[in-house]
Amino acid sequence: MKAFIVDHYGKKGSLRAGEVPEPELRDDEVLVQVHAAGVNLLDSKIRNGEFKLILPYRTPFVLGHDVAGVVTRVGPRVKQFKPGDEVYSRADDFRIGTFAEFVAVKEGSLAIKPKNITMEEAAAIPLVGLTVWQALVEKAKLRKGQKVFIQAGSGGVGTFAIQLAKHLGATVATTTSAGNVALVKNLGADVIVDYKKDDFEKILRDYDVVLNSQDGKTLEKSLRVLKPGGKLISISGPPDPAFAEEINAPWFVKQVMRILSFGIRKKAKRRNVSFSFLFMKASGSQLRQITALIESGAIRPVVDKVFPFASTNDAMAYVESGRAKGKVVIKVR
């Protein structure tokens, strides 16, 4: 099958288009014919080697985390899916490879695709949808009447997070540039800060939750917009000791994560707020809850550009440019 492969880690390296064998199906897996694959910043970071400590992939490997497609075969232990089902998923760590014609996905990480959207729109959802769900519903336990600050509102995570936070009944603040104000307003943002002109920490006060997706400087400033007891959840690092425990990291990795997050944890404690790092996990059951929200119209996918399969490297470069409004998708079939 055709696929896009990481031969060597490195920022300058592009993915190699090549032929690889179809993935071998394990007993609890489903073989999906890929129709569309979402492109995420995580793909670039893994290719660059930034996650080698957490996810030590051995090269060569096929890249890609998000998939929408059709089931072609199922393993002997699979009960919920059959050939012909239209499905979507965020493939599990160490079983990624959606930039290809076929991918094997664990039954537990798969869900039936929402009926009211296209394959390309469905491929835009899993990674960002699950990230936001695990941040706002699981970790933050965001509820009606609370205030949440979502950074980079016009990006892939931001466009989904604004909609979910509004659905949960929260007041939503976000940052974006002047050109994207109408987009984020349309998604439900209540307070919009033009990051090129204004400083969010001078405008926002007494927030219950911050979803941080930016750099270390922004992370530190985010502490100052939270009220006592507030929660700072970061999806861009630094990883903390709780996360190291969660992934059962080796002793030396645990020490590294403890050191990396020491400064921000200390500052958070001083301000009586909590800091936690989130690295999302694949989950079919959570995707099913997201499907219900999409089919009810509470959340709609925001897709900026769809690239042909042959232009996968161009799609990656576009995501890395930081200019995408919503998600970037590759049309494989």
Q: CATH 3.90.180.10 residue ranges in the chain?
A: 2-125+301-331
157's tokens: 């995570």
pLDDT of residue 316: 97
67-119: pLDDT as tens digits? 999 999 999 999 999 999 999 999 999 999 999 999 999 999 999 999 999 99
210-242: pLDDT as tens digits? 999 999 999 999 999 999 999 999 999 999 999
146-165: pLDDT as tens digits? 999 999 999 999 999 999 99
For 2-125+301-331, which CATH superfamily applies? Medium-chain alcohol dehydrogenases, catalytic domain (3.90.180.10)
Once rounded to an integer, what is the mean pLDDT over residues 125-129? 98
The model's pTM: 0.97
Query: Which pairs count as long-range contacts for 293-300, CB under 8 Å and 24+ apart, including other chains?
Result: 293/164, 293/167, 294/114, 294/116, 294/117, 294/125, 295/114, 295/115, 295/116, 297/116, 298/163, 298/167, 299/129, 299/160, 299/163, 299/164, 299/167, 300/117, 300/163
Strands 274-277 vs 226-234: parallel, antiparallel or unpaired? parallel
Specify whether the CB–CB gap between 132 and 122 falls below 8 A.
no
pLDDT confidence band for 13 (50 / 70 / 90): confident
Query: What's the topology of domain 128-277?
Result: Rossmann fold (3.40.50)
pLDDT of residue 3: 98
What is the C-alpha separation between 51 and 262, in angstroms, rounded?
19
pLDDT confidence band for 49 (50 / 70 / 90): very high
Q: CATH 3.40.50.720 residue ranges in the chain?
A: 128-277
Three-class SS state of 124: coil
Residue 11 has pLDDT above 90, yes or no: no
What is the C-alpha separation between 297 and 194, in angstroms, rounded?
28
232-269: pLDDT as tens digits? 999 999 999 999 999 999 999 999 999 999 999 999 99
pLDDT of residue 35: 99
User: Is-cis flag, bond preceding 238, omega within 30?
Assistant: yes
Residue linked to tokens 């911050």: 210
Lowest-confidence segment of 14-18, 52-56, 225-229, 287-291 by average pLDDT: 52-56
pLDDT of residue 277: 97
